[in-house]
Structure 1
């Protein structure tokens, strides 16, 4: 019999029962639901709404249910609709009428708000731990490639020389920001909604602060209507997860390009590659491609949540049941992608020679050549035009700046002398960029020290 059966004259149609049920996906909240119920029952006993013996009986009954669930002895039923009613039904079956007192001074509305917050707080921590793992991989790759010169790109065209270590620190910054977003999300998530009831709290003298303390929350929510109607914390988490996936997708695109024969900058370990069913020579970067593809899936979850909430009046509406599948799938997808991507990249081989060779072509030292002339007193715009003429000359004669003779340089501008060759050497181009945040050895070392310090704080 339904818990609300007193109001209705007919049994719920089976199709409606199946349609309405959420146990198929909210079953994963069993621990949070039971922990919340234990805290609530303990508080009911503390303030005298139930006797101390009744509170003890309820708590022990819930602890037994938790143990049985985790040992595989419990099967949830669609008839009980959701995780809350499944647990309450089991409790009443085990301890009798005392179990029916558990729901005093609460609603499933504030109960699910609590369960979701408690569950997602844990998930935030797990996602941060996986980002930390990936950041560690980036640090190690950077440390191994402090002197690995490679071309940096704009518009996917070779632009200026950098190092692979500098490149890795760029992605490290992205993921650091992701951690910051998750930490901010956690702060707003860390508010305890139980005690808000259906929307207007309760006439019983409950102690919300006691429940919050038991469950490890920083504070209680301030408005009961907002407490049960709010899913900002779910949407904000989904937004942070989407940005993580955007960063992973960009990184994946780089990996895919670098593994191609056209680049040959990276070689993935066989354990993290796949082959072709028809072309025996193929070694495909499927992990990176799947991460790139799954990004759209996480974006979809965010759009589901935003669209679901956009027209809902206060307070709780059944539409909000749709938050769970979306955020659960987004969390599961991001955790899977972070974990496997970190392992894939950790085992990849950086082809240092090919990176250096690519940096030697494409005139990526052109800006440095112009800067050389600026130091000679020539205005930058004039220096820019002079170097442009040099590049045209190089293209016409199949040369690079570093292969031109001094006579060639001087034919374009008399300010050149033999020191130009050192100025446009790739090592010089990289290590003279000593500006904070740049690719010089000292600058990248500082970036890595900052990352190392950051990793100790999370």
Structure 2
């Protein structure tokens, strides 16, 4: 007999029972469901809605079930539909009819919403912690390779030389924005829906503020209908997760290019590469490729929930059962991706000698040559034309700018002097960008120091943020 079966005269069709059951995936919410129930029953007893001795007995039963769940010995059954009914039915079997008082003053509608708020709040904080660890790896790599120069690109064409450290810190900036987005999402996650009932509230004199304090929520939903139907907080998380995965994918795309024979900038560790079943010479960047591919998976989770929600009238509809699998998938995919990316870049080998030669074999110092003429008094547009013709001359002669003689320079402009060779030296070109946010060595060293200070501050934030979360899953 279903716990809700009083109005029914027939058993649920077995196919319908299987089709509508969510226990196959929502059992992941079991710990959060019990946390919410413990807070709820504490409030029921404190408010005198049920006798305190009953509240204590229910709480004791819930804690024993929690122990079974954590020990992975709790029997989740499809016929009990979902995580809530599995736990409640088992509670009644364990402590008797008094267990049926647990559901006083609440509905599965506000109960499941609370579970998801609890789950996603904790997971979001954990993801932020993982992103900070990834940032620390980027700082370590940047700090250890402050002297390495690589080609910078626009339109996938050589543009200007930059410090490898500067390139790494560009991703530090991206992940910083990802962290800020997730911190902002937490503001909408950290709202308690419990107490909204099925959709209109409850007739019992509950104390929602007590429950909020018990569960560590910053505030409470002001409207019961909004509380049970809101999934914006999941959408916002999925959106932030999608942007973070996009940044991971961009990084992986560069690692795939850089590790190719055509670039040869880095070599990925064997532990993050695979071979070919037919070509024995191959070392494939499969981890980077798969991370790039999984980005589309998280995008799909976002668009799936957007599609589910777009036509739903207020308030709860069974469609909302489909909100969980995408959320779980995005959490798992993002957490795994952040960890794998960190391991991959920490273990990669930077081919310093090859890079030192590479940056000498292009025209990425051409802008500095134009700036040289500007400093000699030539308008930039005229200087641009002179250097453009000089580059064309080099191409025709099979030379690079640093391989020309002074006579060849003077043939294109009498403004050139012997100081031109210092002006186009790659190290000079890099360090000349001595502006805030530029690739000059002093600026990048300062940026590394600032990054260290930011991650240290974030470490303190994470410690505070996680102190009230139940981390034992």
With the length of structure 2 as denominator, give the TM-score of the two structures. Answer: 0.96
Pairwise CA distance, 1:136: 1.1
SS in 2 for 1:102: helix
| Partner residue in 1 for 2:67 | 67
| Partner residue in 2 for 1:232 | 232
SS in 2 for 1:377: coil
Q: How well do the aligned residues superpose, as a CA RMSD in angstroms?
A: 0.8
Pairwise CA distance, 1:356: 2.1
| Partner residue in 2 for 1:82 | 82
| Partner residue in 1 for 2:470 | none
2:424 corresponds to 1:424: yes
Q: 1:384-403 counterparts in 2 under 5 A?
A: 384-403=384-403
Q: Distance in 1 between matches of 2:45 and 2:284?
A: 61
Question: Is contact 2:189–2:233 with CA below 8 Å preserved after alignment?
Answer: yes
Pairwise CA distance, 1:387: 0.3
| Partner residue in 2 for 1:111 | 111
Pairwise CA distance, 1:295: 0.7
Q: Distance in 2 between matches of 1:335 and 1:321?
A: 23
Pairwise CA distance, 1:245: 0.6
| Partner residue in 1 for 2:362 | 362
Q: Distance in 1 between matches of 2:308 and 2:358?
A: 49
SS in 2 for 1:311: coil
Pairwise CA distance, 1:340: 1.3
Q: 1:131-210 counterparts in 2 under 5 A?
A: 131-210=131-210
Q: Distance in 2 between matches of 1:433 and 1:173?
A: 19
| Partner residue in 2 for 1:255 | 255
| Partner residue in 2 for 1:434 | 434
Q: Distance in 2 between matches of 1:382 and 1:295?
A: 46
Q: Distance in 2 between matches of 1:447 and 1:196?
A: 48
Q: Distance in 1 between matches of 2:173 and 2:135?
A: 9
Q: Distance in 2 between matches of 1:73 and 1:215?
A: 25
Q: Deviations over 1:257-314 (max 9, x none)?
A: 0110001100111111111111111111111011011111111101101111011111
Q: Distance in 2 between matches of 1:205 and 1:371?
A: 76
2:329 corresponds to 1:329: yes
SS in 2 for 1:263: coil
Question: Is contact 2:31–2:69 with CA below 8 Å preserved after alignment?
Answer: no
Q: Distance in 2 between matches of 1:375 and 1:122?
A: 57
Q: Distance in 2 between matches of 1:57 and 1:103?
A: 14
| Partner residue in 1 for 2:469 | none
Q: Distance in 2 between matches of 1:392 and 1:265?
A: 27
Q: Deviations over 1:353-406 (max 9, x none)?
A: 222222112200000000001111111111000000100111111111111111
Q: Deviations over 1:140-167 (max 9, x none)?
A: 1101111101110001110001010000
Pairwise CA distance, 1:73: 2.5
| Partner residue in 2 for 1:415 | 415
Q: Distance in 1 between matches of 2:270 and 2:141?
A: 19
SS in 1 for 2:430: helix
Pairwise CA distance, 1:72: 2.7
SS in 1 for 2:294: helix
SS in 2 for 1:159: strand
SS in 1 for 2:261: coil
Q: 1:342-381 counterparts in 2 under 5 A?
A: 342-381=342-381
| Partner residue in 2 for 1:46 | 46
Pairwise CA distance, 1:213: 0.2
Q: Deviations over 1:51-95 (max 9, x none)?
A: 110110010000001111222321111111000000100111111
SS in 2 for 1:150: strand
Q: Distance in 1 between matches of 2:224 and 2:27?
A: 25
Q: Which runs of 4+ in 1 moved over 6 A?
A: none
Q: Deviations over 1:390-434 (max 9, x none)?
A: 001111111111111111111111111011111111000000100
With the length of structure 1 as denominator, give the TM-score of the two structures. Answer: 0.99
2:258 corresponds to 1:268: no
SS in 1 for 2:457: coil
In structure 1, runs of 5+ residues without a counterpart are none
Pairwise CA distance, 1:103: 0.5
Q: Distance in 2 between matches of 1:72 and 1:277?
A: 39
Q: Deviations over 1:108-149 (max 9, x none)?
A: 000000000000011101111111121111101101111101
SS in 2 for 1:437: coil
Q: Distance in 2 between matches of 1:327 and 1:30?
A: 16
Q: Distance in 2 between matches of 1:99 and 1:62?
A: 9
Size of the aligned set, in residue pairs, is 458
| Partner residue in 1 for 2:93 | 93
Question: Is contact 2:34–2:62 with CA below 8 Å preserved after alignment?
Answer: yes
Question: Is contact 2:361–2:400 with CA below 8 Å preserved after alignment?
Answer: yes
SS in 1 for 2:162: strand
Q: Distance in 1 between matches of 2:457 and 2:92?
A: 45
Q: Deviations over 1:212-263 (max 9, x none)?
A: 0000111111111101000000011011111111000000000000110001
Question: Is contact 2:196–2:225 with CA below 8 Å preserved after alignment?
Answer: yes
In structure 2, runs of 5+ residues without a counterpart are 459-473
2:137 corresponds to 1:130: no
SS in 1 for 2:110: helix
Pairwise CA distance, 1:457: 2.1
2:284 corresponds to 1:281: no
Pairwise CA distance, 1:448: 1.1
| Partner residue in 2 for 1:241 | 241
